[in-house]
Structure 1
Amino acid sequence: MGAALSLLDFELTARLQQQLWQGEQFSTSHPNVISSGYRLLDRVLPGAGWLPGTVTEVLIEESGVGEIRLLARSLRELTTTQSRSVVFVAPPWMPNFAAFRAMHIATDKLVWVRAADEQVLWAAEQSLKQEGIGAVLVWLPKARPEALRRLQVAAQESQSLAFLFRPLNAAKQSSAAPLRMVCKPILPPAAQTMNRREWIQAVMLEIDIIKRRGPLLGKPLQLRLPLQLPALPEHLRRASQQRKAREVNHVVDSGDIAAIIARSSQAAIDAIRIGEFDFAWSEADGQ
């Protein structure tokens, strides 16, 4: 056989160049990147932000610990500036109109898809194929490696953002996702002297990137993601503040932190009744 030919000897298309990665190469910019909205995080993300056509796997202890607040600034960019839709596929909670409005996300661009476990992957793939989609967020607790490969192929072909939420124990499993992040809530240093409402506002999210196209991350990042208090109706917020003004709740470990934050998020969801819920949604029935 003749000498092996290197792809570098050819004039590659811009899209093919974006799909190539060489060893320790770390891209610091990308023309179509969507900023995370956090400068510290953008610095360690390949392309300096969320890359279109890439599945980002977010591994969390418990739903509601800050994963949506982490993406809120990007979702705002997609739904307002770019006027693109964002699809939520099988979230473990009912999306909350008031909370997203407080984050300045265009709620008329949000779509909620309810799907049975065996239909979640299909629903995500179909969502990625639609025109005008900026991002698809998928909750898939249990997924086989081939399912993750299918999702990555669908994202790559659509050139939309794709975020996959899975439990922490999935970190030990293989995954076709080019970017994998472990996200855990951590208490502020003075948490033991604060009441619960105060330290919930000061809780930070520790992000450890366990896989990326580039060198390994030296140490986890810590981002502060305060809860959106305007998500609660004013009279409920005032009553809650007065009731818990002097309450101090100590926690034992990170699992307790995750549970308390998740319950607090759920309280905000429960406080808004479905009467003013105006999300578009559809049943994914596989037909």
Structure 2
Amino acid sequence: MGSPLALAALPPCLVWQADRLAGSAAAGLPTGFAELDAQLPGGGWPRGALIELFADRPGVGELALLLPLLRRTPADHWLAWIAPPFLPYAPALTSAGLPLERLLLVRTTNAAETLWATRQAAASGACSAVLAWPARIDGAGLRRLQLAAEDSATPLFLFRPPEAARQPSAAALRLLLSGRPGGLTVHILKRRGPAAAAPVELALPQRPGAAAPSRLDDHALARPAPARLALAGLHPRRT
């Protein structure tokens, strides 16, 4: 084994030490939150990687977390949403600055279709970001998605329940999200670097024009109340 001095003399891009964030050949995509960027290798969302976001229910602030990235969708790329638990609510998304003309909504009927559609969207290279809500997925499926994201340099976000965090995963980044009034607590479960010393506390942007403070996806999201779902940017799926 080489000595520490010999390792230290090698270029930083060739050696990663476990007590520091991993280097990256390409800078990350800014999250829009300086506190979070400071904790992520590359200073932002990895450009071509699987990213898992865990939350106990939809609407804790997960869409508001991604809003700065989603707003930057280029005119020649798509923003793919695969099997969301609620239908996107166009007025709220428009007021939040999302380019609806670039939004590609894919509705699936089973877990296999969701995995297939997610992989195709990520591998296509035509999407600036892919968001997917799989009902279930195994380790092999996660590895296939990670490879598809890497090959196309596309950030791929999976929204999953907290218990799924116990499953081994090929994801480059895993975050546990907890909503709080006016903000979001982000626990970094996995990153390319040392374990995070503490969660990251973020203040989320409020929905423009709301009579009372409300995020794009308000933490009070609930299926039985369509009027409140409108504040969240999502409507319940019709059956």
TM range (shorter): 0.7 to 0.9
1:214 counterpart residue number? 193
Equivalent residue number for residue 179 of structure 2: 185
2:96 aligned with 1:137: no
After superposition, where does 1:153-172 map in structure 2 within 5 Å? 153-172=147-166
Measure the CA separation in 1 of the matches of 2:66 and 2:127.
Answer: 16
Alpha-carbon distance change, 151 to 66 in structure 1, aligned in 2, over 3 angstroms:
same
Q: What residue in structure 1 maps to residue 96 of structure 2?
A: 103
**TM-score (norm. length: structure 2):** 0.80
Would you say the 8 A contact 1:180–1:210 is kept in 2? yes
Give the letter for the 1:132 counterpart: A
Aligned residues: 219
Change (3 A) 1:104 1:171: same
The residue type paired with residue 117 of structure 2 is: A
The match for 1:112 is 105
Provide the residue aligned with 1:67 in structure 2. Answer: 62
Identity, % of aligned pairs?
A: 33
Report whether the alignment pairs 1:88 with 2:48: no
User: Which one-letter code corresponds to 1:213 in the other structure?
Assistant: R
The residue that corresponds to 1:47 in the other structure is 42
Q: 2:220 corresponds to which residue?
A: 261
Q: Which has the higher helix share?
A: 1
Measure the CA separation in 1 of the matches of 2:185 and 2:149. 26
How many angstroms does 1:132 deviate by? 2.7
Q: TM-score when scaled to structure 1?
A: 0.68
Shift of 1:28: 6.2
Q: Which runs of 5+ in 2 are unaligned?
A: 2-6
Does the aligned pair in 2 maintain the 1:21–1:213 contact within 8 Å?
A: no
CA deviation profile, 1:69-123 (whole Å, cap 9, x unmatched): 100001112246xx53210000001012112211212111111000122210100
2:4: which partner in 1?
A: none
- Separation of aligned partners in 2, 1:144 and 1:172: 12
Answer yes or no: is the 8 Å Cα contact 1:79–1:106 preserved in 2.
no
The question of whether the paired residues in 2 share the 8 Å contact of 1:79 and 1:86 is answered with no
**What aligned pairs does 1:114-129 form with structure 2 within 5 A after superposition?**
114-117=107-110, 118-129=112-123
CA distance in 2, matches of 1:48, 1:271: 31
| Matching residue of 1:174 | 168
2:52 corresponding residue in structure 1: 57
Cα distance in 1 between the residues matched to 2:17 and 2:127: 29
Q: CA deviation at 1:262?
A: 1.4
User: How far, CA to CA, are the matches of 1:24 and 1:271 in structure 2?
Assistant: 42
The answer (yes or no) to whether the contact 2:49–2:156 under 8 Å persists in 1 is: yes
Q: Give the deviation of 1:25 after TM superposition.
A: 4.3
Larger Rg: 1
| Conserved 8 A contact 1:179-1:212 | yes
Quick check: 2:61–2:218 contact (8 Å CA) kept in 1? Answer: no
Per the alignment, residue 254 of structure 1 pairs with: none
**Pair 1:30–1:64, CA change in 2 (3 A):** farther
Query: What stretches of structure 1 of length at least 5 have no aligned partner?
Result: 188-201, 231-236, 242-257, 278-287
Q: Give a deviation string over 1:186-207, Cα, whole Å, max 9, x none.
A: 24xxxxxxxxxxxxxx3x2110
